[in-house]
Amino acid sequence: MDKIVTLKNLTYQYRDTDDRLALEDVSLSIEAGEWVAIIGPNGSGKSTLAKTINGLIVPDKGEVKVGDLPLTEENLWKIREKVGMVFQNPDNQFVGSTVQDDVAFGLENLAVPRKEMVERVHSAIQKVKMDSFMEREPARLSGGQKQRVAIAGVVALRPDLIILDEATSMLDPQGRKEVIQTVKEIKEQENLTVISITHDIDEAALANRIFVMRAGHLIEEGTPAEIFANGDNLVHMGLDLPFPEKLKSALSRNGLSVPDTYLTDEGMVEWLWTLLSKK
């Protein structure tokens, strides 16, 4: 498969006076069509990493490549067309005065002709199921709805890659579920690559691969099953334990021998009932 993002030996420091680097020698590559989660405690460099991918931050050292385009001055805007980003605060990324204006904003920037723009705006809004809110102002939308509009704004640009920079962290559980569901559906339909930066365990569990960062370093990389098998070490990585893991450690504290491998919800149910039926 094609590599959509290749990062080589990235190093970055915000201010010369900072006592440590925000990113230190980070290398990774992501394949087209993957869903990747980047996790880690606050200040581990996750957002900085995400911003280097579309050139919002230029690394001090190292190489960034999106598709076959290396990140350079000339390629910057071409790369931004390929990479859509959804940020954390739903209010501070809403540029337009109404839902449809906001979705159209990116298209206006690319000088898409108006006829095509109208079409793309409508279909993007339909994809995030906000059709009945076209004329609404941001002040009258919930946080989750605003994030869905932000996703529509990105989808209308038809990117190859969507980066969710803690896009669900300011939402309530309901809004979070809606937003993740929306991204998941759109990913399937358009065959996109998704990079989600998150503290949310359910969101991380959706990924094909998880990267774990700490203090500017990439410390671990693997499938959710591999990462979640770390059990209690996850807490040190800045993540909560997934529910089956919590249940497992509670059971083992009560003297039951539990499997070492990571189990999904279904796997846990399966294991529990086989265990009980053996007795």
Partner 1 sequence: MDKLIFGRYIPGTSWIHRLDPRAKLLATMFFIIIIFLANNWQTYLLLLLFTLLAVKLTDIKFSFFINGVKPMIWLILFTVVLQVLFTSGGETYFQWGPIMVTSQGLLNGVFIFCRFVLIIFMSTLLTLTTMPLSLTDAIEYLLRPLTKLKVPVYEIALMLSIALRFVPTLMDETEKIMNAQRARGVDFGEGNIFQQMKAIVPLLIPLFVSSFNRAEELATAMEARGYQGGEGRTKYRQLHWQTSDTIVMLTFAVLTGALIFLRN
Binding site for partner 1 (CB under 8 A): 51, 54, 56, 77, 80-81, 83-85, 87, 89, 91-98, 100-101, 104-114, 117-118, 121, 137-139, 153-154, 157
Closer to partner 1 at the Cβ: 33 or 96?
96
Closer to partner 1 at the Cβ: 136 or 177?
136
CB 83 within 8 A of CB 160: yes
- The DSSP bridge partners found for residue 61 are 11
Find the shortest distance in angstroms from Cβ 80 to partner 1.
5
Closer to partner 1 at the Cβ: 90 or 216?
90
Distance CA(173)–CA(166), nearest Å, equals 14
Closer to partner 1 at the Cβ: 109 or 126?
109
Find the shortest distance in angstroms from Cβ 114 to partner 1.
6
Find the shortest distance in angstroms from Cβ 159 to partner 1.
10
CB contact set of 177 (below 8 Å; sequence gap of 6+):
none
Closer to partner 1 at the Cβ: 54 or 230?
54
Find the shortest distance in angstroms from Cβ 125 to partner 1.
12
Measured distance between the N- and C-terminal CA atoms of the chain, rounded to whole angstroms? 47
Closer to partner 1 at the Cβ: 149 or 239?
149
Find the shortest distance in angstroms from Cβ 244 to partner 1.
36
- Please choose, from the candidates 214, 220, 127, 108, the residue with its C-alpha nearest in 3D space to the C-alpha of residue 179: 127
- As given in the structure block, the two tokens for residue 232 are 């209690």
CB 265 within 8 A of CB 66: no
Find the shortest distance in angstroms from Cβ 71 to partner 1.
14
